Structure 1
C-alpha cells in the first residue's frame, strides 16, 4: 500500500498563555517547508518541541496526520485547516493513519519509520485552536494521528511516497489503541498483545488493569 506526503511541516515557535511548556513557548504551530527534511532518531531536524516531558523522544520522534482527516475537521468546523494545523510533522495523503497497525513500518523518502502510538489531545492543542471543547470532540472523533519512531534516519519531502513495508499480525491499530486509552477501557487487554508497544504505555495498561494507583 502506497500513499504520499502532502507536506512536511516544522514548528514556528509560539509564545502564549495556553502553551504547555513552563516557558510559555510551544511548537504546535507547524507549517509546510520546501525541500526535504532530515528525520532523525531523536526527532525532526529543525523542529521545535516545547514541553519535552510529554512530547518528543524516540517513541514520538515524528507525528503524522492524514489530509483526509483534516478535511473532515474543516467541513465539521466550517474553516480551512492548512497542513501542520494539527501540529503534525508529516501530512499524509491516501494513507490510513487511523488504521495503521502498531509496529507497522513505513518507507518514507529515504527514512524507515515505525508506528508507535496515537496522539492524545492536550490543553495546548485546544488553546492553539481556540476551542475549549476540542479535547472532548477530538476524542470522540477518534482519528488521532500517529507517532512514529525512526528506525533508519533519512530525508523526506512533500510528494515522497509513503509505503507500508511491514505490518504485524496482531492487528491492533492506532484507532483501537486510542479508544482503549480514552473511552473504551475494555479494549486495554488487547494492547498487551503488541510486542512493539512502547514501555510507558505497557506499564500504564498494566496499572489500569490491576487497579494500581502507582
Structure 2
C-alpha cells in the first residue's frame, strides 16, 4: 500500500530577484490540511499557484531515481523536496495515480485533479533552463490534489484508494495527450470530459479540441 514518506511545507522567501515558496521543509507530527492546503505552507505567486485545485502537490518517491538516472549532473540536488512537493509518496507514480482518485491519508480525503505544469521556477531552482522541457518529455511531474474532507496528515500515514472513477485516466495519460504534437483533437475532447479533472485543464482541452491555434496550457 502506498505510504506518505514525507510531508513538507514552506514559507515564501526571496532568492535572488524572485520571491518563492518553492523550498519546502519536512514536518514532524500531524499537520492540518484544508481546502487551500496545508497549515504552514505559503504560496508566493497566487496567479499560477495555490487555490482549491492546487491545494497540495504530491510526488512519487520512485521518480527521483529516474530523474537522477536521466540527469546525473543534478544528482546532488535530486533529493526529497527538490521539486517543491508537499507530499512525497512511496508506491504511487504517474502511471498508477489517476485523475479523480479519492485517497484517504490520515483523516483527510483528497482527490487527484491534475498534473504539475512545469514553470520557470523549476528551471531557476536547478539553474538549468532545460529542466522544464525535461519534465514535459519524461512526464515525471507529480500531481495536484484537491481537499474534499479536511483533516490531519502525518509522515508514515498509509495512502488508501477509496474511489476510482470509471474510465479514469492516469496522470501519465493526461500528460501524454496534453503535449502530443500535433494534437489529437478527438483525444483532447475525451480528456476534457474526464471526471475530476481540474476545471482549468478541462477547459483548455475542450478549447484546444476545436481550435486551429491551441492556447497555452493552464499553469
CA contact (8 A) 1:64 1:92 kept: yes
Moved over 3 A (4+): none
Corresponding residue pairs, total: 208
SS across alignment from 2:132: helix
Contact 1:117–1:146, Cα closer than 8 Å, also in 2: yes
For 1:202 and 1:162, the matched residues in 2 are separated by: 26
Cα displacement string for residues 170-208 of structure 1 (whole angstroms, at most 9, x for unaligned residues)? 131111112222235323123123122222222211211
For the pair 1:3 / 2:18, whether they are aligned, the reply is no
Query: Given the alignment, which residue of 29, 36, 45 partners 1:35?
Result: 29
Q: Is the 8 A contact 1:172 1:190 kept in 2?
A: no
What does 1:197-212 align with in structure 2 at a 5 Å threshold?
197-211=197-211
Q: CA 1:212–1:37 in 2, change beyond 3 Å: closer, same or farther?
A: farther
Confirm whether residue 15 of structure 1 aligns to residue 9 of structure 2. Answer: no
Distance 2:180 2:123 in 1: 19
Aligned-pair CA distance for 1:4: 0.4
- Residue 67 of structure 1: aligned partner: 61
TM-score, normalization by structure 2: 0.88
**TM value normalised by structure 1:** 0.90
Does the aligned pair in 1 maintain the 2:192–2:201 contact within 8 Å?
Answer: no
Gap runs ≥5 in structure 1: 19-23
Rounded Cα–Cα distance in structure 2 between residues aligned with 1:112 and 1:212:
39
After TM superposition, give the deviation of residue 82 of structure 1 in Å. Answer: 2.4
Indicate the RMSD between aligned Cα atoms, in angstroms: 1.7
